[in-house]
Amino acid sequence: MKRSDKALRIGSILDELYPLPPIPLEHDDPYTLLIAVLLSAQCTDERVNRITPLLFARASTPEAMRKLSVDAIREIIRPCGLSPAKSRAIHRLSEMLIEQHGGRVPDSFEALEALPGVGHKTASVVMCQAFGRSAFPVDTHIHRLAARWGLSTGRNVEQTERDLKQLFAEDTWSRRHLQIIYFGREHCPARSHDLAACPICSWAASGARKREEASRRPAAKQPAKAVKKKAAAKTVRVRRAGSRRAD
């Protein structure tokens, strides 16, 4: 099956499962979305959504965030991980928004990626979800599924983004990004996944890919009785071998 045909079929499945996928990170405006996405690096959305209300109760604008110390920000966001770097980035980018952008989040990739702690994926999320601009954010999960489904070579996230943009219509990029994230969480986990039973992997993944991932799945645990029986049989064989050597 051609990649383009796969993409059409996958898109239909995703639209049926998630017709209006919500943005998983809770926010009120472009600034709070930017901060939430920054905090989500190597952290679950669920945890970020527990922490951001605490942070935004103290500071939900660049002006208010600048008044907090880096240490105060770090103490609040500590559960999200990487708090030393994230707290410095949040404080400095808030200052830069005031100094360079009138306290507003810019709506260009160049300006967003010039902010501390803001990479291309974070900028892409803000561009498409806050400003409705064309972008296809690719995180590690989307990168993994695109390779698993044979939509991309999977060499790096930059190549995956280019491949997905070519395969899916531009006006679907924003929702496809969210749909693939939700599908990965609910149907297509990274580990211990039975590709043959997956609504997409069952037909989209190659036979070689299915065999490769099946070989990496941990073997099912055997009942304790069976394990003991095997151990006892091994002991008997060892004793018999030792007896024959002694003879």
How far apart are the C-alpha atoms of 27 and 211, rounded to whole Å? 42
HSE toward the beta carbon, residue 238, CA cutoff 13 A: 6
C-alpha distance from residue 185 to each of 45, 97, 112, 223 (Å):
11, 34, 28, 30
Please tell me the total number of residues recorded for the chain in this structure. 247
Alpha helices, DSSP H, located in the chain: 3-17, 30-39, 45-58, 62-67, 70-77, 83-101, 109-113, 120-131, 140-148, 157-167, 173-186, 201-204, 207-216, 224-246
User: What is the signed CA dihedral for 211, 204, 175, 172, rounded to 10 degrees?
Assistant: 140
So which residues are the catalytic ones?
Answer: 121, 139
Q: 160, 154 in Cβ contact below 8 A?
A: yes
Per-residue burial over 99-118, b if 16 or more Cβ lie within 10 Å, else e, is eeeeeebbeebebbeebbbb
